Amino acid sequence: MKVTVFGVGYVGLVQAAALAEVGHHVVCVDIDKTKVTRLNDGYIPIYEPGLENVVRDNHRSGRLVFSDEPSVGVAHGEVQFIAVGTPPDESGAADTRHVLSVASTIGALLDRPALVVNKSTVPVGTADRVAQCIDAELKSRGERFAATVISNPEFLKEGSALTDCMKPDRIIIGTDDAAAEATMRELYAPFNRNHEKIIVMDVRSAELTKYAANCMLATKISFMNEIANLAEKLGADVEAVRLGIGSDPRIGYHFIYPGVGYGGSCFPKDVRALISTAKSVGFDADVLKAVEHRNNCQKNTLFSKISNHFNGDLKGKTFALWGLAFKPNTDDMREAPAKVLMEALWQAGARVQAYDPEAMNEAQRIYGARDDLQLCGTKESALNGADALVIATEWQAFRAPDFDVLQEALTEPVIIDGRNLYDPVKLAGLGFDYYSVGRAH
Ligand code: UGA
């Protein structure tokens, strides 16, 4: 099928690559000319396992085309995806400006009926507004046909985005239009194998499903972080509690890892956006407000532990920091707990020697050159002369370090671990002062 994807950000690019990989002909349109030029030159703007090869192969074969010309995209697709960003505005609500602008562009250029699919994460009711935008443009040109607008939210995770897209656990299609449903079923047939993954519902429920999924996962994390904090005060071990509750299939093992708070471009933004949507209809989303509050507090816990260990005197101290990305297998530092930590350490007059397997360029881009940040080429070099090691991201490469090397390199054998990577008994035996999350020190 012929497909157009507006927006080559995370969601748009991965979705386009997956659709091309199964044989569809995809044109991606982005107004960022530099991005489009670089993609045409084979440069992939994000780090995502497997993506580079799939984009390159399909680009070479002509099934994946990048253009900065909206008219090329509108002329091409039987299905037109909108996959542009919905960043938060000052109030925390999702800003749908880019989505509506693409809608107007489609309406201004369309010369036949079309199926327009909202892939962006958008507040409930946005599909109706997209339809109105397109309609207004069509009417102003005296056209008599209409576009059908449906919702098809994305559930991919950074770090496994391509796999999530190629092997989705569900495909939500929000429409009550039978023809639109049939087209989407045909489009997604190559992904709908082994068992039925397509769930069809009305547009508003599909839009709400996306937020409900992310907010439920964020709630699990904040709840677990609350239990971890409580475990520390009560002398219990949250890792034992995690295993004990995860074994109940009604709870499950997923997303109950305590840590330093959730980050990334989705959970923080989507929790705030749903709180804001609730407010707009006069409803107080008490649970979600608490989820957000707990998360903001949790992001400060690494700093508190460091500060407590050094009796509040961090001026002139140096900290080795392992992990900058908000989670492993990505270079994304948006809302990363490591940023909150570094900024608090700098505020307290400390220096940071940081290492991350993928996010070094991103850290350089965000912070540039500053005296109190040294971006190190290896995890070992980040340790040299540091007063303690702090771990903010659970990269595989950090799971089994040579503890002798650590002891040699650090001025004091102190580890503050925000991801519970090591066994406290073993580390105590090796002579470390080891602080983790929700476990007795
Ligand atoms: C999340 C969702 O998992 C995807 O399903 C969704 O499609 C995506 O948002 C989106 O809306 O685009 P992502 O932000 O890539 O995906 O990252 P996750 O793997 O969900 O992790 C989010 C944060 O939660 C990370 O900071 C991670 O460290 C933290 N986390 C996760 C925990 O602290 N504990 C856990 O048990 C799990």
Tokens of 172: 């939500």
14 shares its domain with 147? yes
Q: Answer yes or no: is 440 within a domain.
A: no
pLDDT (average), residues 221-247: 97
What's the CA gap between 67 and 376, in Å, rounded? 37
pLDDT (average), residues 313-318: 98
Q: Which long-range contacts (CB under 8 A, 24 or more apart) does 222-227 make?
A: 222/262, 222/290, 222/291, 222/292, 222/294, 222/295, 222/298, 223/256, 223/291, 223/294, 224/255, 224/256, 224/257, 224/258, 225/258, 225/259, 225/261, 225/294, 225/295, 225/298, 225/437, 226/294, 227/258, 227/438
Q: Which residue has the tokens 């270079």?
A: 331
CA separation, residue 280 to residues 124, 216, 275 (Å): 11, 20, 9
Nearest to 5 by CA among 34, 36, 41: 36
Could you tell me where the beta strands, DSSP code E, fall in 42-168?
64-67, 79-82, 114-118, 147-151
Q: Answer yes or no: is 127 within a domain.
A: yes
What's the CA gap between 35 and 32, in Å, rounded? 5
pLDDT of residue 92: 87
Identity (one letter) of the amino acid at 142?
A: G
pLDDT of residue 440: 79
The yes-or-no verdict on residue 441 having pLDDT over 90 is: no
Nearest to 201 by CA among 209, 211, 190, 213: 209
Tokens of 306: 């460091």
The yes-or-no verdict on residue 166 having pLDDT over 90 is: yes
Measured in angstroms, how far is the CA atom of residue 279 from the centroid of ligand 1?
A: 24
pLDDT band at 90 (very low <50, low <70, confident <90, very high): confident
pLDDT digits (tens, 9 = 90+) for 376-404: 999 999 999 999 999 999 999 999 999 99
Q: Which of 40-49, 217-226, 412-421 has the lowest mean pLDDT?
A: 40-49
Identity (one letter) of the amino acid at 130?
A: V
The yes-or-no verdict on residue 309 having pLDDT over 80 is: yes
Residues in the chain, total? 441
Mutation test of ligand 1: which of 217, 241, 332, 421 has the most ligand atoms closer than 8 Å to its C-beta?
217
ipTM: 0.96
Q: Which of 201, 231, 246 is the last residue of a domain?
A: 201
Q: 156 CB less than 6 Å from ligand 1?
A: yes
Q: Answer yes or no: is 255 within a domain.
A: yes
CATH number at residue 196: 3.40.50.720
pLDDT digits (tens, 9 = 90+) for 102-147: 999 999 999 999 999 999 999 999 999 999 999 999 999 999 999 9
What's the CA gap between 22 and 25, in Å, rounded? 9
| Residues of the chain above pLDDT 90, percent | 95
Euclidean distance between the first and the last CA atom of the chain, given in angstroms as a whole number: 58
Tokens of 22: 């199964």
187 shares its domain with 317? no
pLDDT of residue 140: 96
pLDDT of residue 403: 97
Mutation test of ligand 1: which of 51, 158, 330 has the most ligand atoms closer than 8 Å to its C-beta?
158
- Give me the chain's average pLDDT, please: 96
54 shares its domain with 173? yes
Owning domain of residue 248: 211-297
CA separation, residue 115 to residues 6, 26, 131, 150, 178 (Å): 13, 15, 10, 8, 12
Q: Which residue has the tokens 């959970």?
A: 267
168 shares its domain with 245? no
pLDDT of residue 324: 98
Q: Which of 236, 270, 297 is the last residue of a domain?
A: 297
Q: 395 CB less than 6 Å from ligand 1?
A: no
Q: 437 CB less than 6 Å from ligand 1?
A: no
What's the CA gap between 200 and 157, in Å, rounded? 22
Number of domains in the chain: 3
Q: Which of 175, 201, 227 is the last residue of a domain?
A: 201
CATH number at residue 290: 1.10.1040.10
pLDDT (average), residues 301-312: 97
Better-predicted residue by pLDDT, 158 or 175? 175
Identity (one letter) of the amino acid at 214?
A: N
pLDDT digits (tens, 9 = 90+) for 149-163: 999 999 999 889 999
Q: Answer yes or no: is 206 within a domain.
A: no
3-state secondary structure of 391: strand
Q: 155 CB less than 6 Å from ligand 1?
A: yes
pTM for the model: 0.94
Judge whether 215 counts as a catalytic residue: no
pLDDT of residue 47: 85
The yes-or-no verdict on residue 430 having pLDDT over 80 is: yes
Strands 79-82 and 64-67: unpaired
Q: 266 CB less than 6 Å from ligand 1?
A: yes
What's the CA gap between 62 and 81, in Å, rounded? 19
- Smallest CA separation from ligand 1 atom 25, residue: 262
pLDDT digits (tens, 9 = 90+) for 26-38: 999 999 999 999 9
Q: Is the Cα dihedral 375, 377, 378, 380 positive or negative?
A: negative
418 shares its domain with 276? no
pLDDT of residue 316: 97
pLDDT digits (tens, 9 = 90+) for 316-346: 999 999 999 999 999 999 999 999 999 999 9
User: For residue 439, what is the DSSP state?
Assistant: S
pLDDT of residue 235: 96
Nearest to 222 by CA among 290, 303, 158, 300: 290
44 shares its domain with 125? yes
Q: Are 70 and 32 in contact (CB under 8 A)?
A: no
